[in-house]
Amino acid sequence: MASDVMIEARGLTKRYGAFRALDKVSFEVKRGEVVGFLGPNGAGKSTTMRILTCYLSATDGTAKVSGHDVFDEPLKVRESIGYLPQRAQMYGEMGVLEYLRFVAELRKIDGPTFKKRMKEVVEVCGLGNVLGKDIRTLSHGFRQRVGLGQALLHNPPILILDEPTSDLDPNEKAEVIDYIKEIGKDRTVVLSTHNLSEVEAACARAIIISRGRVVADGGLDEVRARGGRVRYLVTVDEKRILEAGGSFLEKPSAAPKAGEVQEALSKIEGVLSVQEMPSDDSAHAFMLKGTRSTDLRAEIYSLCVQKGWLLLAMNREVQKLEDVFKTLTRRDDAGARGGKVAKAVDEALDDEEDFDDEDLEDDDLENEDFDEDDDEGLDDEELDDEHDEEAEDLDEDDEEKK
Amino acid sequence: MATLSIAKREFKSYWNSPIAYVVICISLFGLGLVFFNLNGGFWEANRSSLSLLFTYMPRALAWAVIPVITMRLVAEEKRSGTLEMLITLPVKDHQVILGKFLGAWGLVMALVFATALYPIFMFGYWNLGSIDSGPVLTSYFGLMIYSAAAVSIGLFISSLTESQIIAFFITTVLLFFLHLFGGAMPLDILPENLEMAAAFISFDTRLSGFVRGMINLRDVVFFLSITILCLMGSFWALERRKWA
């Protein structure tokens, strides 16, 4: 395929019984892109990757990798992919070189090419000192490097890395991210993680997936904008005020009170919320939230001048990816924690009792089973509806937070 | 090609752990003990024949060797996660199954042919009598296709579970009954036609021909069918991951 689209997923759906692990996931990855695949645990990141590498089949939808359909041409797809599965499990009893040679054999890499590729892989992944060691004796970090090495061995145009940095210590993480940046210069890379700073460090684009659905997809700035918030950090002197002549005095009676400042700030048009932040004795600090389209710094400044408050610091910052991630995926846990727990426990216990009953009345077993399936189906849909609302009700979420 | 690489890796991996050494040593030692000493064994029989050896060997393989060798084939890879690494390389599922089968079967063959030292030393070197080589050759042939069937059964069981222990016990029990049903274990309680059916599938009865120097096409087809069926079953079990 001449087009620049290396990975194309169309409406991927994966069901495990009544549970929908993926729900109409669609995205495209172009040549040379480094894409961060984000989402909480269990959101469907690994499932998507396993479908792309033809380890699993989708219940519905199609996916093409470098122009080959994952269902019709799994071998062609796998040939063009370097894949590092989660936790990179390799045969522990094999030596590093032995393992890489085994992979090369299965990838039909001939001797001279293998030698040439090995030089590069050993260089990029820093495997020089461990080639002769057994994989089981290696630390997690080195195992991960070997995993990266086997994924790079055939010089693939596409790399799919499933949580390449999980279980690593901070130094190792930084190293792996550096490799990925290095590797990603001339390749298409899809990397899944729940560590957002890594995405910010290595990727130009993020796809956020939550409960099997893509909830955000775009450049990092675009995704950040999904949150639609800007934060202002404002610090005002607590003891002194500005006099008409330009000098400033310590005047306890006229000094600004925290409540007063907060109220005045929240009256500025465009401010969504004001929150007092911890600070030392000499200053009041506040965090304001405004919409992304406006810049309120001038308004804040003139308010302070007008009131005679000494503005010590002001900072405007666009919301971090982490905050966007939290807002977009926060309700994932709603069923497992918080208010619904009592209900869920009750239901689970009820179910158990039902099973006991079933044991007694074997004849009814089949019917009971059907009933249960129906129930599950309903629950699933209810939850999905909630989920839909969730994405639209971001504003409300924020109100709740306050 | 990929099949052979996988088979080679599988075969070698047995020698990287103590499994191969322990299994081969213990089974050869046990076999020797039984062959020469059980109820007087070879000496008491006082004939230059290895038929006793070839009667005991399949049982030794079935109960002590093959389940140990096959239990880990797929189950362990599923549990540890190496399977995902293997399958996402450009290999077909049937190559994985065939490769694993050949690797395990190869180890069993190594053990089987290690016993060729018996006839070579006993009748070639020490001249304990002149042996009729026909039954020896047919017995080895029988052992080859018998082991193929037994290994494929073990592989199939292993590909159904993630637990080596479960795979081991189910394979052992299955092979135990496949040997003794209708042969050494009388089934008087069963109706006559069921008893016949049991005798029909009994590994002991199927193998007795080979030991006596006969190659019966029916027996050959029987073992080969089991092998092919179980390999297809394992393939299906491996494919199942995609849809489950």
The residue among A180, A203, A226 that closes a domain is A226
Say if residue A94 is in the same domain as residue A189. Answer: yes
Dump pLDDT digits (tens) for B167-178.
Answer: 999 999 999 988
Of A391, A386, A380, nearest to A329 by C-alpha is A391
List CB contacts of A81: < 8 A, sequence separation 6 or more: A52, A53, A65, A156, A158, A159, A160, B88
Same domain, A174 and A121: yes
ipTM for the predicted complex = 0.88
* Contact assignment for A91 to B5 by CB distance below 8 Å: no
Residue of A nearest to B15 (CA): A93
Q: Does residue A323 form part of some domain?
A: no
Structural domain count of chain A: 3
State whether B92 and A78 contact (CB < 8 Å).
no
C-alpha A353 chain-centroid distance: 39
On whether both A206 and A138 belong to a single domain, the answer is yes
A201 plus A77 within the same structural domain: yes
Residue-wise pLDDT for A148-204, tens only, equals: 899 989 989 999 999 888 777 888 788 888 888 888 888 899 988 877 778 888 888
Answer whether residue A330 is part of any domain. Answer: no
Question: Is A91 in Cβ contact with B81 (below 8 Å)?
Answer: no
Residues A73 and A147 in one domain: yes
> By residue range, what is the domain housing residue A274?
229-318
Do residue A356 and residue A296 come from a single domain?
no
* pTM reported for the whole predicted model: 0.76
- Within this chain, do residues A165 and A74 fall inside the same structural domain, yes or no? yes
| Spatial distance between the Cα atoms of A157 and A66, rounded to a whole number of angstroms | 9
B window 76-105, beta carbon within 8 A of A: 80-82, 84-85, 87-92
Residue A108 maps to a domain: yes
| Whole-angstrom distance, CA of residue A165 vs CA of residue A181 | 13
Residues in B touching A16 (Cβ below 8 Å)? 244
Lowest mean pLDDT among A153-162, A365-374, B226-235: A365-374
Give the nearest partner residue to A106 out of B13, B84, B91, using CB atoms: B91
Shared domain for A207 and A268, answered yes or no, is no
Q: Which two tokens stand for residue A252?
A: 């306890």
For the stretch A25-60, pLDDT in tens is: 999 998 888 898 888 888 888 899 999 999 999 998
Say what percent of chain B tops pLDDT 90: 49
Q: Domain check: are A31 and A163 in the same one?
A: yes
CA of A165 vs chain B CAs: smallest distance (Å)? 17
Last residue of a domain, one of A285, A318, A351: A318
Q: Which of A318, A350, A379 is the last residue of a domain?
A: A318
CATH of the domain at A122: 3.40.50.300
Same-domain status, A22 and A169: yes
Which of A55, A135, A153 to probe by mutation at the B interface, max B CB count within 10 Å?
A55
DSSP secondary structure string for all residues of A267-307: HSTTEEEEEEE---TTEEEEEEEEETT---HHHHHHHHHHH
CB pairs under 8 A between A and B: 62
CA A27 to chain centre: 15
How many angstroms from the chain centroid is the CA of residue A43? 9
Residues A212 and A243 in one domain: no
Tokens of B174: 């299955």
Contact present, A146 and A69 (Cβ < 8 Å): no
- Residue A325 within a domain: no
